Chain A
């Protein structure tokens, strides 16, 4: 029944900040109460808009970190030094404050149970955010889809969702972490940037036709996606999302 779906306009709505969690010194998770939220699919994002007193508006996109089954919509925001929007969200926003946003947006970089697996998730820095929505959804629907997650961070204190990563590893997600700048004493994870060698070690073999998602800064995504294709992964099974901005 193609063409019967009505176009859904994206309208701006106001959400109330109900909780702020400091993930790292530069990153906060913002829980929002959105009375008119239509629901989302894991991996989607929102457009968020700030309006200054003189009417000037700045708009940015942020990935949704909560699963569709979670009570509140959660955005995890990294503070960019020269940013127009993120410094306000990370430094100034308080519980009870209102935010204007629209969404959910995006139909490409999404995963839910119906898409199956096995799943390979590759994250650089805050590229981990949309994957949190995916792994929470997987747990909420008690999916048995096997998941391998490889994430890269500059140092352990800058790795997002550390406690939750430990928890999902206990729930059966195969979690690998590589640290690119500093490693703590006794570190048993990987060191250095994600490259073809590391991807060969932690990925599903290409013969298993994994569904692959890569998210992070542009240069990170380019190099990881190129390495995966060089390893023999089917490019049509690799979905990417580029954040631009900072390195890992």
Chain B
């Protein structure tokens, strides 16, 4: 399974959040690393995607698509900051 990064799920994140989220900043709930979504370790797994902390591998984002509905789990984060509005 190829490890990618958060840029690879930018489109799926727009589907869920209605805006670009690659510049959103997340704090890992396990090790406390602060990373833009674009820098997370991402794995594309049909029928969804998984993003992990690039430092400690903690599970941060799970998006699963079922019959046109996206189920999203962000509970691995300790904190989330919205991206700045400057882009797009």
A: which residues have CB within 8 A of B? 1-3, 5, 7-10, 41, 45, 47, 61, 102-103, 105-110, 218, 221, 239-245
Contacts and interface: CB of A to CB of B under 8 A. Distances in A.
Given A10-B11, A105-B20, A242-B8, 6 more contacts: A1-B85, A8-B18, A10-B15, A41-B87, A103-B11, A108-B23
Given A106-B20, A107-B20, A10 B8 contact: no
Categorize the interface residue count of chain B.
20 to 34
Contact of B7 (A2, A103, A109): A109
A107 B88 contact: yes
Contact of A108 (B2, B4, B22): B22
A47 B11 contact: yes
24 contacts: A5-B19, A7-B17, A9-B18, A10-B14, A47-B11, A103-B11, A105-B14, A105-B20, A106-B7, A108-B10, A108-B22, A108-B36, A109-B7, A109-B38, A110-B87, A218-B3, A241-B7, A241-B38, A242-B3, A242-B8, A244-B2, A244-B3, A244-B4, A244-B8
Contact of A5 (B22, B36, B85): B85
Main secondary structure on B side of the interface with A: mixed
Contacts of B18: 7-9
Main secondary structure on A side of the interface with B: loop
Interface of B: 2-8, 10-11, 14-15, 17-20, 22-23, 36-39, 83, 85, 87-88
Given A7-B18, A9-B18, A106 B5 contact: no
Contact of A245 (B2, B17, B39): B2
B19 A7 contact: yes
Contact of B22 (A9, A102, A106, A242): A106
Nearest to B1: A244
Contacts of B83: 107
B3 A107 contact: no
A172 to B, nearest CB: 27
A22 B8 CA distance: 25
Contacts of A41: 87-88
